Amino acid sequence: MRTTVGIIGAGPAGLLLARLLHNAGIDSVVLESRDRAYVEQRQRAGILEQGTVDVLREAGAAERMDREGIPHDGIELRFDKRRHRVDFPALTGGRSVMVYAQTEVCKDLIALQLAEGGPLLFEAEALAVEDAESEHPRIRYRHEGREDVLDCDYVVACDGFWGVGRKAVPADVSQVFERTYPFGWLGILADVAPSHDELVYARHDRGFALLSMRSPSVTRAYLQVPEGTDAADWSDEEIWDELDRRLETEDGWKLERGPITAKSVTPMRSYVHEPMRHGRLFLAGDAAHIVPPTGAKGLNLAVGDVVTFARALTHRQETGSTELLDAYSETCLRRVWQAERFSYAMTTMLHTAPDASPFDGRIQRALLDRITTSGAAETDLAEGYTGFPLD
């Protein structure tokens, strides 16, 4: 089989790239190692930046998002039982975010790809990327019990940290920058209406807490827990009690409880692989970078990567110039490092490290006080949260 762009991974990045290329008249093939049901059910991100929302609309993939997604014009910060709302549109010239789960984005893009786009092969495991430095790289993959080859002009690896894409970049040209955090997030889904109409980020001496949502009837919440925690060690009652403690306010706000339907622990790390391109192999999303989830940046960074690639390849097709393709890594990394900075700042401001001193706690409170009293500091947070420009 032959195509212009071989895409490894049918997460939101790979699927959106296939859609953008289809709309530009460029053919592609998507290889996904998992089955369709798994892709449409795996719980991941739920916050879409303004730029991501705009791209989905422009791509013709936003009909259900606009009908069922929940627009959010701000977040609430809590510390020392105080509450402060950050008003995004007022601080950013009208930008906001959308609560719409990654699973739903994937469902929408899969339906479009199967109806209108090129081949999308589920249970097609990419085994290796070969000849990346040539004009015709290839992907060896296994599908329906036999090995095959996809010949391409370009390969885009949207296959995550453990995929074959990143491994195809030679070690002698790779640089890795990373930081691990001594805590994780215990996340839950619960069948109860959210207790607040916007996300709540709480800094507490016992640890961070986040109150979120998946729909008007489903609450998503997180607790900072020690690294290596097993979710099964926490009972439902213990989780609700701890959320109550960390989200408590001086005005008597009440947390609504309900049946917990899922719980899991997410490790926290920051990671960047440079460069994001080797020959005609391009890395996108978690294959190139990982952020702690505090800043809601992971999915949105992946969208920025594939938008950058689609624009560059379209420019190549229309003008013959490889200028934008050659600049892919540098262009993406400018945005990646801003998102890494923002996510790191949010994480260190709101989480309590195991070895934190009283001085560290005072610095965190001073940072939060600055945001609540300085328009410039509050604007910086709002601009970072709603997203850095895709161009």
Do 79 and 40 meet the contact criterion of CB atoms below 8 Å apart? no
Domain count, the chain: 2
| Pair 298, 358 in one domain | no
Q: Do 205 and 325 lie in a common domain?
A: no
Q: Do 26 and 171 share a domain, yes or no?
A: yes
pLDDT tens for 30-60 read 999 999 999 998 867 789 999 999 999 999 9
Query: Is 78 a domain residue?
Result: no
Share of the chain above pLDDT 70, in %: 99
Any idea what the CATH number is for the domain that residue 356 is in?
3.30.9.10
Does residue 167 carry a catalytic annotation?
no
Q: Active-site residue 72, yes or no?
A: yes
How many other CB atoms sit within 10 Å of the CB of residue 318?
9
From 12, 22, 72, 154, active-site residue? 72
226 in the same domain as 173: no
For residues 17-30, average pLDDT: 98
Task: Judge if 118 and 258 occupy the same domain.
Answer: no
Domain that holds residue 205: 181-268+352-386
Tell whether 15 is covered by a domain: yes
Q: Is 391 a residue whose pLDDT tops 90?
A: no
Tell me, yes or no, whether 224 and 285 share the same domain.
Answer: no
pLDDT for position 99: 95
- What percent of the chain is predicted at pLDDT more than 90? 96
Tokens of 336: 């990646």
Q: Residue 129: beta bridge partners? A: 139
319 assigned to some structural domain: yes
Active site residue 100: no
Say if residues 22 and 16 touch (Cβ distance below 8 Å).
Answer: no
pLDDT (mean) for 284-304: 95
Instruction: Give dist(CA 129, CA 77) in Å, integer.
Output: 45
Q: What is the pLDDT of residue 44?
A: 72
Q: Which of helix, strand or coil describes residue 216?
A: coil
Point out the catalytic residue in the list 141, 154, 328, 385: 385
**Identified catalytic residue from 100, 181, 201, 328:** 201
Domain with residue 143: its CATH number is 3.50.50.60
pLDDT tens, position by position, 114-164 = 999 999 999 999 999 999 999 999 999 999 999 999 999 999 999 999 999
Cα 67 from Cα 324, distance rounded (Å): 35
Looking at the structure, tell me whether residues 104 and 222 fall in a common domain. no
pLDDT in tens, 355-367: 999 999 999 999 9
Residue 82 lies in a domain: no
- Confidence (pLDDT) at 226: 96
154 is catalytic: no
23 within some domain: yes
**376 and 337 together in one domain:** no
Same domain, 49 and 191: no
> Does 327 map to a domain?
yes
pLDDT at 46: 85
How would residue 389 be classed by pLDDT, with cut points 50, 70 and 90? confident
Split at pLDDT 50, 70, 90, the class of 390 is confident
Q: Is residue 170 part of a domain?
A: yes
36, part of any domain: yes
